[in-house]
């Protein structure tokens, strides 16, 4: 902002972001694009000293998140393959049922020509986000944040490399075990599902034609997400013990277990990556903001990856916070003052709680073998399918389009 340096309050960054993951970088790029050249944004993360690691992780980018990425020019920059999900099939079935009934098929977006989501490799996303952020004038500090002290008018941020940054606002985008959140004394609420998600990449003989499937098996959801080429990514829910046993099986035995669930609709299957099991939990911060501090992404919430909503929720945080900061700065006001932060918090908490409880509820409802519950969910899903407004609501919610939607999620520039 148009401030002249003074000895008392010399600010060398308007907004400082801890963490160069998807949420942190997307916020930096959004602010850089909207407010350049008179607004200083710094991203701090030791990981910025090297290229993003090549791992197998992929994410399902929902429509809202994609629009934000397109608006920031990130989407156009993705180097690797992008697989659209054109259709989504959800079924509830016992393992030994001969026919799997289809209760809900999310094949339509609000625009029928738009895919429901796109599968993108995380690494490609990070590379594109870094470029976009830097192009918009964002400063990278390849160093972790050691600590911070919030004052009435600014926050003093100390980096591991001894740099001190005086900022209006500090943003914690430092992940599920956020150091900044802990330092601010913001407590979390957690649920433990006593379940793990087994993640693996599967090759198959036939084309998936862009179809995602989610089967609610007795042990929990089993999701198949289409990847570019004749490949799919699976998220397979089991109890923690069973998941540990399964991933330790000899490949031939694992293959057999997988085939019982994956089926042979897509022809012969092949396990392309070493299966890994991740314990499933749900953590939400009691507050999304503190004194001159805002939490985004996994620092604010880690949800069950049942519908690939973790990254999308993080992007929705980004869109809301970026709009709060831009609106405030454009009035000449202080983006780290309580007013701006409470707007962000109000905006995001309802959505996050709604989504968390929705996925939590879905998982609990479906991870149960009781006959009564099965009847209930059959009836429930059937009802949803027969009532277009409700179905539309679920489709939109899955696409991240309900509530007062931040501009970036609607594909509008800030």
Distance CA 143, CA 151 (A): 23
Considering the rule CB under 8 A, would residue 228 count as an interface residue with another protein?
Answer: no
Cα dihedral across residues 273, 195, 181, 31: positive or negative = positive
The answer to whether residue 402 forms part of the interface with another protein (CB under 8 A) is no
Q: How far apart are CA 83 and CA 207, in angstroms?
A: 12
CB of 56 to another protein, least distance (A): 41
Which positions from 344 to 383 touch another protein by CB under 8 A, shown as an x/- string? Answer: --x-------------------------------------
In the bound state with another protein, the residue whose beta carbon lies nearer, of 222 and 288, is 288
Q: How far apart are CA 43 and CA 263, in angstroms?
A: 45
Measured distance CA(191)–CA(200) in Å, rounded: 24
Does 328 engage in binding with another protein (CB under 8 A)?
yes
**Residue (62 or 329) nearer to another protein, CB:** 329
Strands 276-285 and 87-92: unpaired
Report which of 129, 138, 128 is spatially closest to residue 37, judged by C-alpha positions: 138
User: Tokens at residue 35, please?
Assistant: 């407010």
From candidates 50, 96, 111, 152, binder to another protein by CB under 8 A: 152
Binding residues for another protein, rule CB under 8 A, total 29
Instruction: Note whether 386 binds another protein by CB under 8 A.
Output: no
99 binds another protein (CB under 8 A): no
Q: Are 299 and 175 in contact (CB under 8 A)?
A: yes
* Least gap, CB of 140 to another protein (angstroms): 22
Q: Which stretch binds another protein (CB under 8 A): 4-12, 47-55, 207-215, 218-226?
A: 4-12
Write the CA distances from 329 to 14, 31, 38, 216, 378, integer angstroms: 10, 10, 10, 46, 50
Other beta carbons within 10 angstroms of residue 96's beta carbon come to: 7
Site for another protein (CB under 8 A): which residue of 112, 185, 250, 332? 332
Stretch that binds another protein, among 70-78, 252-260, 325-333, 382-390 (CB under 8 A): 325-333
Contact positions toward another protein, by CB under 8 A?
Answer: 1-6, 8-10, 34-35, 38-39, 152-153, 327-333, 337-339, 342-343, 346, 414
């Amino acid at each position: 902002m148009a401030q002249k340096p003074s000895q008392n309050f010399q600010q060398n960054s308007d907004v400082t972001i801890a963490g160069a993951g998807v949420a942190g970088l997307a916020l930096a790029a959004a602010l850089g694009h909207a407010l350049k050249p008179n607004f200083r944004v710094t991203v701090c993360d030791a990981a910025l000293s090297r290229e993003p690691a090549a791992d197998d992780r992929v994410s399902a980018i929902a429509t809202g998140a994609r629009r934000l990425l397109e608006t920031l020019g990130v989407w156009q920059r993705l180097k690797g393959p992008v697989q659209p999900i054109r259709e989504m099939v959800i079924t509830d079935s016992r393992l030994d049922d001969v026919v799997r009934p289809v209760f809900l098929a999310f094949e339509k977006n609000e625009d029928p020509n738009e895919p429901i989501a796109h599968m993108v490799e995380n690494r490609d996303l990070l590379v594109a986000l870094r470029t976009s952020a830097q192009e918009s004038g964002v400063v990278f500090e390849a160093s972790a944040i050691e600590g911070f002290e919030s004052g009435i008018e600014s926050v003093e941020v100390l980096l591991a490399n001894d740099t001190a940054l005086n900022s209006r606002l500090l943003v914690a985008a430092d992940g599920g075990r956020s150091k900044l959140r802990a330092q601010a004394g913001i407590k979390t609420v957690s649920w433990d599902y006593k379940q793990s998600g087994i993640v693996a990449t599967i090759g198959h003989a036939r084309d998936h034609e862009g179809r995602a499937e989610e089967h609610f098996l007795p042990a929990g959801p089993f999701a198949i997400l289409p990847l570019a080429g004749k490949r799919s990514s699976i998220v397979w829910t089991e109890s923690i013990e069973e998941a540990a046993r399964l991933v330790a099986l000899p490949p031939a035995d694992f293959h057999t277990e997988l085939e019982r669930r994956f089926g042979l609709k897509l022809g012969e299957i092949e396990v392309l990556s070493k299966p890994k099991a991740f314990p499933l939990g749900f953590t939400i911060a009691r507050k999304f903001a503190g004194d001159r501090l805002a939490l985004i992404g996994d620092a604010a919430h880690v949800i069950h990856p049942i519908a690939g909503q973790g990254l999308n929720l993080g992007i929705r945080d980004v869109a809301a916070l970026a709009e709060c900061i831009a609106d405030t700065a454009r009035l000449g006001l202080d983006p780290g003052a309580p007013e701006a932060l409470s707007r962000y918090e109000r905006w995001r908490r309802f959505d996050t709680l709604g989504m968390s409880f929705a996925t939590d509820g879905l998982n609990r409802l479906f991870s149960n073998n009781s006959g009564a519950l099965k009847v209930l969910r059959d009836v429930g899903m059937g009802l949803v399918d027969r009532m277009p407004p409700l179905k539309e609501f679920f489709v939109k919610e899955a696409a991240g389009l309900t509530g007062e939607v931040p501009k970036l999620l609607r594909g509008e520039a800030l």
